[in-house]
């Protein structure tokens, strides 16, 4: 199927948001998908991953819109971070609703903190956009620690710089390593940073206090009233941190929400970059949208 790609700008509270739309030359349906960028990535995504995702979904007959949040990439304005991106998301939803095809259903997809941003704005979005039919949230961000690719504007105000993964991710990583002969060989040969190991061990024993971001996110999940699919690369540090809350006491309400379904892939790829992970992601998205 041939895909046509167009570039344009839309006004958002006086600023200009750069947008890219991919659509089949002969649309197979009237279903639109908005891809929200995570972190401070531009709309092409890491290693052009979102551009590839957009084109592949367009080949399935969908109309896909992705955009740069204000203050990021080709968009003007100030980057207020993922916690304050409602106007940007609403601008993108308005743009796809205005498309000449005349959308009957709209879905929204986000990875990492984009998934978090979608969830915390989902209730307001469903009220303002009646055609919004569901959400697909991948490897949701629930950590208060600012990772290297998360500038201060994109992290909660109480975020603390730390180059270590979450305690849950460290425990999962070490559990895997102690059963791996190659890891023991590397340790005994001096090929491992002992200081970092001790720092990781210390953090791994920390009490799992619920993060502020995690609380906000899971409160939002608990109240979702539209079909939502959560997709996890189960060995990814961000996914591990999410799942630690999901399976715990505070995740009970989200687990009990009949609108939410979760699927896991045996992968550590945060952005589903390898071929197997990407194919799984495409299948999960298309199958779920067709179900709704």
Residue 168 pLDDT grade (very low, low, confident, very high; cuts 50, 70, 90): low
Using CA atoms, how far apart are residues 273 and 278, in angstroms rounded to an integer? Answer: 6
Do 223 and 197 sit in the same domain of this protein?
A: no
Q: Is the pLDDT of residue 8 over 80?
A: yes
Do 200 and 275 sit in the same domain of this protein?
A: no
| Residue-range definition of the domain harbouring residue 269 | 3-152+209-291
Do 127 and 178 sit in the same domain of this protein?
A: no
Count of domains forming the chain: 2
Query: 3-state SS of the chain?
Result: CCEEEEEEEEEECCEEEEEEEEEECCCCCCEEEEEECCCCCCCCCHHHHHHHHHHHHHHCCCEEEEECCCCCCCCCCCCCCHHHCHHHHHHHHHHHHCCCCCCCEEEEEEECHHHHHHHHCHHHHHHHCCCEEEEEEECCCCCCCECCCCCHHHCCCCCCECCCCCHHHHHHHHHHHCCCHHHHHHHHCCCCCHHHHHHHHHHHCCCCCCCHHHHHHHHHHHHCCCCEEEEEECCCHHHHHHHHHHCCHHHHHHHHCCCEEEEEECCCCCCCCCHHHHHHHHHHHHHHHHHC
Residue 27 pLDDT grade (very low, low, confident, very high; cuts 50, 70, 90): confident
Q: What is the pLDDT of residue 52?
A: 97
Q: What is the pLDDT of residue 149?
A: 44
Q: What is the pLDDT of residue 156?
A: 42
Query: Of 184 and 213, which is predicted with more confidence?
Result: 213
CATH code, domain with 36? 3.40.50.1820
Q: What is the pLDDT of residue 47?
A: 83
Cβ proximity of 143 and 211 under 8 Å: yes
Last residue of a domain, one of 188, 204, 220: 204
Do 187 and 240 sit in the same domain of this protein?
A: no
Q: pLDDT by residue (tens digit) across 52-92?
A: 999 999 999 999 999 999 999 999 999 999 999 999 999 99
Q: In the predicted model, what is the mean pLDDT of the chain?
A: 86
Q: Is the pLDDT of residue 204 over 50?
A: no
Q: At what angle do helices 194-204 and 167-177 cross, to 10 degrees?
A: 120
**What mean pLDDT is predicted for residues 231-244?**
96
Q: In 3D, which of 82, 72, 92 has the Cα closest to residue 155? A: 82
Do 90 and 216 sit in the same domain of this protein?
A: yes
Do 247 and 282 sit in the same domain of this protein?
A: yes
Query: Of 201 and 76, which is predicted with more confidence?
Result: 76
Q: pLDDT by residue (tens digit) across 273-289?
A: 999 999 999 999 999 99
Residue 100, number of CB atoms within 10 A of its CB = 6
Using CA atoms, how far apart are residues 235 and 270, in angstroms rounded to an integer? Answer: 9
Pair of tokens at residue 286: 């298309």
């Amino acid at each position: 199927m041939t895909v046509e790609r167009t570039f344009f700008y839309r006004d958002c509270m006086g600023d200009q948001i750069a947008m890219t739309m991919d659509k089949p030359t002969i649309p197979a349906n009237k279903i639109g998908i908005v891809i929200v960028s995570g972190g401070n990535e531009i709309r092409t995504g890491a290693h052009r991953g979102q551009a590839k995702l957009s084109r592949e979904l367009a080949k399935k007959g969908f109309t896909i819109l992705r955009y740069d949040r204000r203050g990021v990439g080709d968009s003007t304005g100030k980057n207020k971070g993922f916690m304050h991106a409602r106007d940007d998301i609403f601008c993108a939803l308005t743009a796809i609703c205005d498309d000449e095809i005349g959308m009957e259903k709209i879905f929204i997809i986000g990875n990492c903190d984009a998934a978090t941003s979608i969830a915390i704005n989902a209730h307001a979005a469903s009220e303002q956009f009646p055609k919004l039919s569901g959400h697909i949230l991948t490897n949701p961000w629930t950590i208060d620690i600012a990772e290297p690719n998360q500038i201060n504007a994109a992290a909660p105000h109480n975020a603390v710089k730390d180059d270590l993964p979450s305690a849950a991710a460290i425990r999962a990583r070490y559990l895997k390593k102690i059963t791996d002969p190659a890891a023991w060989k590397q340790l005994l040969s001096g090929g491992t940073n002992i200081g970092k190991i001790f720092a990781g061990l210390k953090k791994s024993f920390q009490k799992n206090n619920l993060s502020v971001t995690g609380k906000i996110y899971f409160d939002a999940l608990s109240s979702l009233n539209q079909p939502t699919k959560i997709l996890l690369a189960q060995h990814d540090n961000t996914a591990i941190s999410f799942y630690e809350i999901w399976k715990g006491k505070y995740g009970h309400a989200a687990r009990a929400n009949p609108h939410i379904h979760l699927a896991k892939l045996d992968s550590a790829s945060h952005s589903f970059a390898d071929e197997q992970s990407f194919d799984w992601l495409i299948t999960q998205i298309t199958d779920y949208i067709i179900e709704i």
